Amino acid sequence: MPTYVCLCQWTQKGLEKVKESPGRLDKFKEMARSAGGQLKAFYLTMGRFDFVVVMEMKDDASAAKVVLQLGAAGNVRTETLKAFEESEYRQLLGSL
């Protein structure tokens, strides 16, 4: 399955209820499962982004759907990157 990296920042709304964040993470995990994917990793980070999520989804549309649902709740802003595994990277470069 394709891998996606979501760089996330809490909004003011999200920060005001930051103690509820673990429950929101659990809901996001369930949204990903319902869309046919899964969260592979979650990292609280320091710097420009507050946390990073690595997820596998069945396709780009499914990834977009769950990220849009996450953003629509108003607690976070996201920047999502499609990630290529090393074997995919080598295949891409090998075809140049």
pLDDT of residue 66: 96
- Taking alpha carbons only, the member of 55, 46, 56, 41 closest to residue 1 is 56
Q: How many domains does the chain have?
A: 1
User: What's the distance, Cα to Cα, between the start and end of the chain in Å?
Assistant: 23
pLDDT digits (tens, 9 = 90+) for 13-58: 999 999 999 999 999 999 999 999 999 999 999 999 999 999 999 9
Query: Whole-prediction pTM value?
Result: 0.91
pLDDT of residue 61: 96
Other beta carbons within 10 Å of 36? 13
Angle between helices 60-72 and 21-34 (to 10 degrees): 150
Contact 5, 54 (CB under 8 A): yes
pLDDT of residue 91: 95
Q: Which domain holds residue 62?
A: 3-94
pLDDT digits (tens, 9 = 90+) for 49-82: 999 999 999 999 999 999 999 999 999 999 999 9
At 46 the three-state DSSP class reads: coil
CATH number of the domain that residue 30 is part of? 3.30.70.920
